[in-house]
A and B are shown apart, each in its own frame.
Chain A
Amino acid sequence: SQTIHQWPATLVQPVGSPLSLECTVEGTSNPNLYWYRQAAGRGLQLLFYSVGIGQISSEVPQNLSASRPQDRQFILSSKKLLLSDSGFYLCAWSTGMGQFGYTFGSGTRLTVV
């Protein structure tokens, strides 16, 4: 069966520090991978998506970047965090273009202080 792992679950980082969040998928090949951010009272905001190794599309200009070094690994990074980067970050995968829905990870609560 397919599973998705996302870590860490919570993270408190000072302003200006780097960030690395990792997501891995098991039980499927060549998934589409996504990074979302969820702010309180707002819908999920798509940050990045990837249809293959090394292929990253950015939806929102920001202080973050993403990489896909392996087929089932997706990494969200920042060189210098801002207060506005605080939020709940979710990784997700889908087959095809998501027409059958997404499977989400358990999320990372990031607080920038």
Chain B
Amino acid sequence: EDQVTQSPEALRLQEGESSSLNCSYTVSGLRGLFWYRQDPGKGPEFLFTLYSAGEEKEKERLKATLTKKESFLHITAPKPEDSATYLCAVQAVGTSGTYKYIFGTGTRLKVLA
């Protein structure tokens, strides 16, 4: 069964304390892996798309990497404004040839000043 699992569920960091969030997936026919940021009471905001193993994308203090089984979102020297829920999603090809988009449950990140 296609599945996307994110860990940890929640993470508390001190300001400046770098860490990584994990997104592991088991899907057939991966078309892309997506990272989103979601603030409380808001819709998710697109961050990155990764298409193939070995690919990396960066945006400010965030860096996303992809392997054949998982993706990492590295946060370098985080600031309190980086506090949010980070969602991972994969797009895969279904058995009927249609695309399906599967979201993980997210990692709630809290950065303390």
Q: Which residues of A contact B (CB under 8 A)?
A: 6, 41-44, 46, 90, 92, 97-107, 109
Given contacts A99-B31, A101-B34, contact A43 B104 (CB under 8 A): yes
Nearest neighbor of B105 in chain A, beta-carbon distance: A43
| Sample of 11 more A-B contacts, CB < 8 Å, known A44-B89, A109-B41 | A6-B43, A43-B105, A44-B44, A44-B103, A46-B101, A90-B43, A90-B44, A98-B91, A104-B44, A105-B43, A107-B42
| B49: Cβ under 8 A from any A Cβ | yes
The reply to whether A101 and B31 form a contact with Cβ atoms under 8 Å apart is: no
In whole angstroms, how far apart are the Cα atoms of A100 and B48 in the complex?
A: 9
Q: Which B residues lie at the A interface, using CB under 8 A?
A: 4, 31-32, 34, 36, 41-46, 49, 87, 89, 91, 99, 101-106
Q: A42-B105, A43-B103, A43-B105 are in contact. Are A101 and B46 (CB under 8 A)?
A: yes
Residue of B nearest to A6 (CB): B43
> Which residue from chain B places its CB closest to the CB of A97 in the assembled complex?
B99
- The DSSP consensus for interface residues of chain B is strand
Q: Which residues of A contact B101 (CB under 8 A)?
A: 46, 98, 102
Tell me which of B32, B36, B44, B87 has the highest count of chain A C-beta atoms within 10 A of its own C-beta: B44
Report, nearest first, the 10 A-B pairs whose CB atoms are least far apart.
A104-B43, A43-B103, A101-B46, A44-B103, A97-B99, A43-B105, A107-B43, A104-B44, A90-B43, A106-B43
One of B41, B43, B44, B99 near A98 (C-beta < 8 A): B99
**Do the beta carbons of A43 and B43 come within 8 Å of each other?**
no
30 cross-chain CB contacts under 8 A: A42-B105, A43-B4, A43-B87, A43-B102, A43-B103, A43-B105, A43-B106, A44-B44, A44-B89, A44-B103, A46-B101, A90-B43, A90-B44, A92-B43, A99-B49, A99-B91, A99-B99, A100-B49, A101-B36, A101-B49, A102-B34, A102-B44, A103-B46, A104-B43, A104-B44, A104-B45, A105-B43, A107-B42, A107-B43, A109-B41
